[in-house]
Amino acid sequence: MLDQAAKTWAQDLVADAELGDVRRNALVIRMLRRMAQRPAGCITDVFVDRAEQQAAYDFIEGGVATSRLVDSFAASAFRAADRSCFVVVDGTSLSLTDRKGRKDFGSIGPREFPTRGVKVIDALAVSRTGLPLGVAEMTFWAREPKSKLSRNTRRRAGDNETRHWVQAIERVASRARAARVRPWFVIDREGDASAILRTIARQDADYTIRVGQLERRCVGDGSVFSRMCRRPVIGRHFVDVPAREGRRARVAIMEVRVARLDLKLPDYATHSSLPFSTHVVWAREISPPRNTERLDWMLFTSAEQTTYADAIAVLDGYCLRWRIEDFHRAWKSGHCNVEETQLRKLDRVVRWATMLATVAVRAEQLKHQSREKPDAPASDLLSTNEIEALVAIRNSRPRKNEGPVRGMPTSAQVVWWIAELGGHPGNPASGPPGTKRIARGLERLLIYAEGYGAAKGAR
């Protein structure tokens, strides 16, 4: 995986890239392969060879449009989809070092804070079974100084950050159409904006968007919240809530209600409202543990709600939104540490961060592949040298009541062993290994595998 599989993965990512020169395509493949082997936020930490390092800087500082890279990355993700897939869209930010405010960045968070960096809207393609497929969109921008115009004035002029969401959704939809894939957009509360709802409705796509404005008005009388409160409970759904810092894993029991509502969406350009019909699924946790935030999801969806199974399909799809949070952790701190970059120009940060995003997705793929297909042979994930090196390490450190490893191990076994190399305790009570431990173990396995291969060749 760290060698030949990394090369195959990089070639697939760049297969549709139009970079103007086949040599440039070959360079990007070499860069991605090295980034997968030695992920880091600083170019100098990834490329230790001087010639590789200079070539990487030349590309990152060059004039290749990042959109061409994203087009190719998205095409690779949609090729892996089976005619349809979920596309989770979310907003985040990269906090970057800029103590003197001289770099090509903008404010992050409240504008009165000194934090500097770039804002990001990204889209992650996810299979129906929950496997991350790849990057479908990356939109970056640096905030300008705060405008003196009122919020409504900027809305009427289309000069607010919602326009970045609209553009990102339109680009994803266009790429999906080109690949003949029907996307199902999954967006959290940021998606509950008039412009975003109308944009998605115009696409050949499905959507699930969490309601952020419970008092949004309906045609006739009442709000979304008041209308849903009057709907009967059609059943209960059980949701596995993963553990997080300060939160234990649990199974949440949620009461489910559904309805079809006609909304009145404001049109700021004409000072009027426009009708918008949507289905709504509301799932609310009953009897949550003490001192634990209750799960409460009210979702707009294009999926028709005629049966209880229809509602469960929407809720299960919304649960996959957590995939992009895992991806953000792997990209920003857990695996790639993109925020450690020392690049000074926005376009260079964007190009480097976009390439690192594909590396983070790949790490998430490994984690979920081992969970979805635990009995698959390890050869689906690792090369022969890597498997033999890992087995040799395992047999040199036997656990109590465990004999030597014989035959081909499974994918689940080798991922656990790799995570142990990265510091995971290795016992079931600690839970399944996360991306950070797996990534750290992969880096160490690369060293063992190279040494093992060299030793074999010297015999």
| DSSP sequence for 384-397 | HHHHHHHHHHHHHS
Q: Per-residue b/e over 412-423, b at no fewer than 16 CB within 10 Å?
A: bbbbbbbbbbbe
Check residue 222 and give left, alpha or beta (phi > 0: left; psi -120 to 50: alpha). Answer: left
Q: Dump pLDDT digits (tens) for 213-266.
A: 999 999 988 999 999 999 999 999 999 988 777 778 889 999 999 999 999 998
Q: Are 297 and 285 in contact (CB under 8 A)?
A: no
What is the DSSP-derived secondary structure letter of residue 218? Answer: B
**Helices 346-372, 66-79: crossing angle, 10 deg rounding:** 10
Q: Dump pLDDT digits (tens) for 315-333.
A: 999 999 999 999 999 999 8
Q: Dump pLDDT digits (tens) for 139-197.
A: 999 988 765 555 555 555 455 789 999 999 999 999 999 999 999 999 999 999 999 99
- Dump the DSSP string for 242-275: --BTTB--EEEEEEEEEEEEEEEEEETTTTEEEE
Q: Are 273 and 251 in contact (CB under 8 A)?
A: no
Q: Are strands 106-107 and 116-126 parallel, antiparallel or unpaired?
A: antiparallel
CA of residue 107 relative to chain centroid, distance: 23
Please give the span between the terminal C-alpha atoms of the chain, in angstroms, as a whole number: 24
| Phi, psi (rounded to 5 degrees) for 348 | -75, -40
More confident residue, 277 or 1: 277
Check residue 111 and give left, alpha or beta (phi > 0: left; psi -120 to 50: alpha). Answer: alpha
Q: Which residues fall within 8 angstroms of residue 257, CB to CB, at 6 or more apart?
A: 228, 231, 232, 233, 234, 281, 282, 283
Q: Provide the token pair at 166.
A: 């609209």
CA distance 383 to 37: 13
Tell the burial category of 112 from Cβ atoms under 10 Å away from its Cβ (0-12, 13-18, 19+): exposed
- Dump the DSSP string for 25-41: HHHHHHHHHHHHHS--S
Q: Which residues fall within 8 angstroms of residue 407, CB to CB, at 6 or more apart?
A: none
Q: If you average pLDDT over residues 370-399, what whole number do you get?
A: 81
Q: What is the mean pLDDT of the chain?
A: 88
**What is the share, in percent, of the chain residues with pLDDT greater than 90?**
57
| Partners of residue 241 on adjacent β-strands | 250
- pLDDT at 3 (0 to 100): 57
- pLDDT at 55 (0 to 100): 95
CA distance 5 to 109: 39
Q: How confident is the model at residue 438 (pLDDT cuts 50, 70, 90)?
A: confident
Does the pLDDT at position 350 exceed 60?
A: yes
CB atoms within 10 A of CB 61: 13
Ordered domains of the chain (ranges, CATH):
4-65+336-360 (no CATH), 85-332 (3.90.350.10), 373-457 (no CATH)
Q: Provide the token pair at 305.
A: 């709600």
